[in-house]
Amino acid sequence: MKYRSSRGGVSGIGFREAVMMGLATDGGLLIPHEIPDVKDKLGSWTSLTFQELAVNIMAEYIDDIPAEDLATLVDKSYARFDHEKITPVVQVSDFYVLELFHGPTLAFKDIALQFLGNVFEYILEEEQGHLNILGATSGDTGSAAIESIRGKSNINIFILFPEGKTSPVQEAQMTTVLDANVFNIAVEGSFDDCQSLMKTIFSDLSFKQEYELGAVNSVNWTRLLAQIVYYFFAWYELGKPETFDVSVPTGNFGNIFAGYLARRMGLPINKLILATNRNDILARFFETGVYQKGEVCFSESPAMDIQVSSNFERYLYYKLDGSCEKVAEFMGGFLQKGMARLDFNTRGFDESFMAGSVGDSETLGTIRDIYEQEDYLVDPHTAVCISVGSRLRTPETPLLCLSTAHPAKFENAISRAVPGLASHHERLEALAGLPTRKEKMGAEVDLVQAFIRQYGLH
């Protein structure tokens, strides 16, 4: 399989090159030249383990890593999950929940990032290269990035987070990792400061090149690839229904785009239900065709407090019939005016999607209702997913809701939803009292660059 950019400036590159490139060099996003049709293989994949299924699906998109090496990478990536099925399906009331939170940091990002870290290490070893990963987090996703890189050869990771502005559990999940290749930088400033530091440093091209700076953000094709797998796995776990709806709590459009690919590969998904919180730019787009940026508002489901979704352009590429010029025009217009429009009348609404959003009080209400009626506790992102999914589902059709985090990660929201209730997880409790390491730093580019000069691989 070869990969190309959604903007047309890159094409014909292999999987390995696509992994190392991350964002396409022309500013677009990398996509496979074609989407393989696996309908005829679905029968023969019945009763495979998650890992076996992963190898089969990934091999459709990877032809420059030998099959046995790919199997080793997959096994390594899911060895730290605490459920033998990796992503089990449970029935709750009249719908099903796909639990994606059994990885090391209890969030669905582990599924893709654990694999990406191993693929990076594998490629760097063969090519005798090295990489310094730089990332910024408001608290929630930094630990998944750190856990994917800790202890790996030829890769260091530097994570910027706003000092004192992450929850104690979030900070502990990052700073208790003492591996020599992990550097937590506590920035005296806001999350915006962290992000702008990162952007400035990445735009210093000579520095970026000298230190082989890389990212593990959600535009990397490898992350999408790893996420396709659980859509298929869930279908087998459901007993291969003729068709089913899937509801997905959406922020950067990575998770649901993997579902879109699974559907185009031949998995019989009826509707992909896009669920958002009040940051509803995507929900509005799927209703009206207008893609218009608003102000980011803070919600009970912070991993979805996003206005501009970094993976949306991949979808746009397919929606605009693979025309790179039209993609560039749409995205250029959006960048300039904060708004762009797809004409649904001539183009037709996308029958694969439905979309909706919910506010915080309904989110907390959903947590409470499901807990009281079903004795099942969900985190706020999953609650958004269930709430919108239940509203938009197709009658007589199984509904699968993707659960993206363990409730214990969001204890404040849980106690607001059900006063007096606490959610526990032994992995989080085990962090209490462990030694920690972090470097406090002023929000200045020079300081961060000097730190990377000192501790980065080169």
The stretch near ligand PLP (CB under 6 A) out of 197-205, 250-258, 428-436, 447-455 is 250-258
Length, in residues, of the chain: 458
State the minimum distance, in angstroms, from the CB of residue 250 to ligand PLP.
Answer: 4
C-beta closer to ligand PLP: residue 77 or 252: 252
Out of 104, 135, 139, 251, point to the residue binding ligand PLP (CB under 6 A).
251
C-beta closer to ligand PLP: residue 113 or 124: 113
Using CA atoms, how far apart are residues 432 and 410, in angstroms rounded to an integer?
16
Q: What is the DSSP string of 381-411?
A: HHHHHHHHHHHHPPTTS-EEEEE-B-GGGGH
Out of 86, 119, 145, 303, point to the residue binding ligand PLP (CB under 6 A).
303
Does the footprint of ligand PLP cover residue 253 (CB under 6 A)?
Answer: yes
Out of 143, 170, 217, 252, point to the residue binding ligand PLP (CB under 6 A).
252
User: Tokens standing for 225?
Assistant: 């690839």
- Ramachandran region of residue 167, left (φ > 0), alpha (ψ -120 to 50) or beta? beta
C-beta closer to ligand PLP: residue 405 or 441: 405
State the minimum distance, in angstroms, from the CB of residue 129 to ligand PLP.
Answer: 28
State the minimum distance, in angstroms, from the CB of residue 384 to ligand PLP.
Answer: 8
In the region spanning residues 84 to 123, those forming contacts with ligand PLP, defined by CB under 6 A, are: 107-109
Exposure pattern of 380-394 as b/e (b: 16+ CB <10 Å)?
bbbbbbbbbbbebbe
In the region spanning residues 33 to 92, those forming contacts with ligand PLP, defined by CB under 6 A, are: none
C-beta closer to ligand PLP: residue 108 or 122: 108
Extended beta strands in 61-181, E state: 89-92, 95-99, 131-136, 155-162
Using CA atoms, how far apart are residues 164 and 187, in angstroms rounded to an integer?
9
Using CA atoms, how far apart are residues 103 and 406, in angstroms rounded to an integer?
10
Look up 109 and say whether it is catalytic: yes
Out of 278, 381, 406, 416, point to the residue binding ligand PLP (CB under 6 A).
381
State the minimum distance, in angstroms, from the CB of residue 251 to ligand PLP.
Answer: 3
Reduced to 3 states (helix: H, G, I; strand: E, B; else coil), residue 246 is strand
CB 260 within 8 Å of CB 352:
yes
C-beta closer to ligand PLP: residue 204 or 287: 287
Number of amino acids touching ligand PLP (CB under 6 A): 18
In eight-state DSSP terms, residue 13 is B
State the minimum distance, in angstroms, from the CB of residue 361 to ligand PLP.
Answer: 19
C-beta closer to ligand PLP: residue 173 or 181: 173
The stretch near ligand PLP (CB under 6 A) out of 61-69, 184-192, 248-256, 262-270 is 248-256
C-alpha neighbours within 13 Å on the C-beta side of residue 128: 0
CB 445 within 8 Å of CB 201:
yes
CB 78 within 8 Å of CB 114:
yes
CB 338 within 8 Å of CB 312:
no
3-state secondary structure labels for all residues of 90-112: EEECCEEEEECCCCCCCECHHHH
The stretch near ligand PLP (CB under 6 A) out of 131-139, 253-261, 423-431, 439-447 is 253-261
State the minimum distance, in angstroms, from the CB of residue 219 to ligand PLP.
Answer: 11
C-beta closer to ligand PLP: residue 144 or 213: 144
In the region spanning residues 216 to 235, those forming contacts with ligand PLP, defined by CB under 6 A, are: 218
Q: Exactly one of 109, 152, 271, 409 is catalytic; which is it?
A: 109
Out of 30, 58, 187, 405, point to the residue binding ligand PLP (CB under 6 A).
405
How many helices (H) and strands (E) are present in the chain, helices listed first?
19, 15
C-beta closer to ligand PLP: residue 107 or 177: 107
Out of 135, 214, 249, 456, point to the residue binding ligand PLP (CB under 6 A).
249
State the minimum distance, in angstroms, from the CB of residue 385 to ligand PLP.
Answer: 8
In the region spanning residues 326 to 345, those forming contacts with ligand PLP, defined by CB under 6 A, are: none
Using CA atoms, how far apart are residues 380 and 410, in angstroms rounded to an integer?
7
C-beta closer to ligand PLP: residue 176 or 404: 404
The stretch near ligand PLP (CB under 6 A) out of 193-201, 245-253, 264-272, 284-292 is 245-253
In the region spanning residues 2 to 21, those forming contacts with ligand PLP, defined by CB under 6 A, are: none
Q: What is the DSSP string of 21-56?
A: H-S-TTSS-EEESSPPP-GGGTGGGTT--HHHHHHH
In eight-state DSSP terms, residue 267 is -
User: Tokens standing for 36?
Assistant: 């393989």
State the minimum distance, in angstroms, from the CB of residue 79 to ligand PLP.
Answer: 21
- The residue type at 267: L
**Which spans of this chain sit near ligand PLP (rule: CB under 6 A)?**
107-109, 140-141, 218, 249-255, 303-304, 381, 404-405
Among all residues, which ones are annotated catalytic? 109
